[in-house]
Amino acid sequence: MKIISVVGARPNFMKIAPIVRAIKKHGGIHHILVHTGQHYDYEMSGSFFKELGIPHPDINLEIGSASHARQAGLIMMEFEKVLLKEKPDVVIVVGDVNSTMACSLVATKLGIAVAHVEAGLRSFDRNMPEEINRLVTDSVADILFTTSLDANIHLRHEGILPQRIFFVGNVMIDTLLNSLTKARKTKILERMGLQKETYTLVTLHRPSNVDDKNDLSRIMQALGEIQKSIKVIFPVHPRTKNNIQKYYSASQLKKWKNLQLIEPLGYFDFLNLMSYAKVVLTDSGGIQEETTVLGIPCLTLRNNTERPVTITQGTNILVGTDKKRIIRESQKILQGKIKNGQRPKYWDGNASQRIVQILVKLYQQKQLRRV
């Protein structure tokens, strides 16, 4: 069997790492890793390959940043050439970034089976570019691997046949569980002069939170209030950095003495910081899941989530983007009012193994492709 796996942007790397390992462990599979180059900075891409032991991509399309249409178009043109040459039996795509959607479309149009890992998540918010990517990818995918049973329900409502849907668990958690011991050994706390559980960790990168001046200011002001009570550590995504630089002067930022803006961190350092944080404030999808497994309180600065299991079972609370609410909910946690959670089913470190077993079985039964 010949498999092509696709990665493009930061959250894809932690998802593909355990799949690549499981493919290798299984043996007898010809595997090709394609990086679209959607993310290209060392901090956003290269460092993850190194830390997570992902092999160097066999092919890098080097597409880089562009408008969504241009980025997706360029990825499609280049990925088509790869598929025509390599003719794999199946293309594995993960998550919900532009690369996921673009590569799924190319593969399905060439009659090649598409396996989508992390299928069926829905925020029901079509203003999110990722929601469009999820809908398009799932509508063409042949094999849909889900992380939670709500995703199965969404896919069934959308008319996907049950024999195409496989609840396998969460590959991002495979990576977390495999990395935690190592991550806890990094010296990031010492380097930053931090003590365990004495800081808030923040990440922000959703266009709806960071692109518009008013939206970003509301959140920054909330952080300005929170840093009066606890140190706030904020590794800044490039999109967010561009906007902070546009809207804030260095002297304005300096006024918030306990708010530390730093460069994006590598996987191990970030996981270390997250595992010892008092609370995490984020608009990321993956971090809602990771904090749930770590048992760390998470406040999600969005009005919806495609990962409701992190609320119903985990430590996540959806707080929206209202300044007062963000401050109020943070204070509650600082006062010790903490929500206890549990780890969702199959978030056990073995999701990738399940995926590879299912793919091999479908291949042997000549059922990879939906007909």
Nearer to ligand UD1, 71 or 350 (CB): 71
Q: How many CA atoms lie within 13 A of 329 on its CB side?
A: 23
Strand segments (E) across 277-369: 279-282, 298-300, 316-318
For β-strands 316-318 and 298-300, DSSP reports them as parallel
Euclidean distance between CA atoms 127 and 364, whole angstroms: 40
- Shortest spacing between CB 189 and ligand UD1, in angstroms: 24
C-beta of residue 179 within 8 angstroms of C-beta of residue 149: no
Which entry of 35, 116, 154, 205 is annotated as an active-site residue?
Answer: 205
Nearer to ligand UD1, 170 or 353 (CB): 170
Nearer to ligand UD1, 75 or 333 (CB): 75
Euclidean distance between CA atoms 220 and 265, whole angstroms: 20
Catalytic residue status for 237:
no
- Shortest spacing between CB 272 and ligand UD1, in angstroms: 19
Q: In what order do the strands lie in the sheet with 165-167?
A: 59-60, 30-35, 2-7, 90-94, 113-117, 143-146, 165-167
Nearer to ligand UD1, 38 or 292 (CB): 38
The closest alpha carbon to 301, from 214, 209, 200, belongs to: 209
Euclidean distance between CA atoms 74 and 64, whole angstroms: 10
- Shortest spacing between CB 178 and ligand UD1, in angstroms: 21
Nearer to ligand UD1, 41 or 62 (CB): 41
Strand segments (E) across the chain: 2-7, 30-35, 59-60, 90-94, 113-117, 143-146, 165-167, 199-203, 231-235, 259-262, 279-282, 298-300, 316-318
Chain positions contacting ligand UD1, by CB under 6 A = 9-11, 38-41, 44-45, 65, 96-98, 129-130, 205, 237-239, 242
Nearer to ligand UD1, 120 or 224 (CB): 120
Euclidean distance between CA atoms 281 and 304, whole angstroms: 15
- Shortest spacing between CB 299 and ligand UD1, in angstroms: 18
- Shortest spacing between CB 210 and ligand UD1, in angstroms: 8
- Extract long-range pairs of 187-195: CB within 8 Å, 24+ residues apart: 188/265, 188/269, 188/272, 188/273, 189/272, 189/273, 189/276, 192/233, 192/260, 192/262, 194/231, 194/233, 194/273, 194/276
- Shortest spacing between CB 38 and ligand UD1, in angstroms: 5
Active site members? 205
